[in-house]
Structure formats: C-alpha cells, structure tokens
Amino acid sequence: NSDQGANFSALQQRAAEWKRKHGWAQAESLPLEAEFWTDHDCDLWFRTGGLFHPQRARERRRPPEGDAGGTSGGARRRVSVLAPTCEARQGLHEGLWSCFEAQTWPDKELVIVETYSSTPSKFFEEKAKQDERVVFLSYQVPKEKDWSSGLKRNLCAQLASGGLSAHFNDGDLY
C-alpha cells in the first residue's frame, strides 16, 4: 500500500543520510519497524550491519529494578555491570564471572555482549540459562569486521535495566 511505500522511502532516506554523515559507502537496510526507532537505535543497527535489532534486544532486558520506598526513600538501586567481550577472550570469562559474584551490591546484573567468529562462549551461554541476572547476547562477526569494545559497550547499555552502571573489562580484577 502507499503508506508502506512512503515508510520505505523515509527509511531509505534515513539510511542515506546516515551513510553521508558517517562516510560509509553502504549500510544495511532498515526494517519497517525502524520508522519508530530513535537515531541512536538506527546508529546501532547500521554499525552492527543489521545484527543488533534494538527492539528485539530490549525484549531480552530484565524487568525494571524494584524501587521499594522510592529512590528518594533510600532504596538501593540495581547496578548493571557492562562487559564487552570476544571469542579470543573466552578463557577469561570465568574470571569475569568471579569478579561479578564478588561484588556485594544486592541488586546487580551482568550484561555481556560478545562477538565471535566460530564459537560463542559456552560459559556465558550456560550462566545465562542458570542465572536470571545474566543478560548475554552473542553475535557471529567475521574477525576482520569485529566490532570495537566501545560499540559493544553501547549495546550493553541498551540492554541494561539498572539505574547505575559499572564497566568491567573481561581481563581485569575487581
């Protein structure tokens, strides 16, 4: 119908503007539902070659933090621990988990975005099944097109449900 045609045209225009602004020769076409996305959502879509779908990713978020007594009433808030990683660092994942577990904050979650070329992290796949505090998204990306840790941190932030965030690196001790 003509509405879909107009929407498609508007999405093409949005992609063309993004490519021009960022100096990219090509960008993955936006899906129709992107009509309602923020510029930030579209940016994450383009930078991940369409692998990160903001709407679907938000469905993976944990329920909002509890706020018994309200924030002004002194209730403690959830901390989202954001941790970008990649296949080459899978040997550090148990240590990352140990550092997360060692934190004494009562309401916390571990949000991990991993890229891999052949095998996703079995460790975090299992942890995500066993522990609702783990939000784990893994994307297969060719090594030569791997995403920066900054992009992965932005994706983690999109998935975070806490009012506070802490940034962990998978090779550090906390």
Q: Is the pTM of this model over 0.75?
A: yes
Distance of CA 173 to the CA centre of its chain: 22
Nearest to 113 by CA among 152, 87, 141, 81: 152
Q: Where are the domains of the chain?
A: 2-51, 71-167
Dist. CA 77–CA 107, nearest whole Å: 7
**Tokens, residue 166:** 């802490």
pLDDT of the chain, 174 residues: tens digit per residue = 556 667 888 999 999 999 999 999 999 999 999 999 999 999 999 999 999 999 999 888 888 766 544 444 434 699 999 999 999 999 999 999 999 999 999 999 999 999 999 999 999 999 999 999 999 999 999 999 999 999 999 999 999 999 999 999 988 877
With the C-alpha atoms ordered 57, 63, 66, 70, is the resulting torsion angle positive or negative? positive
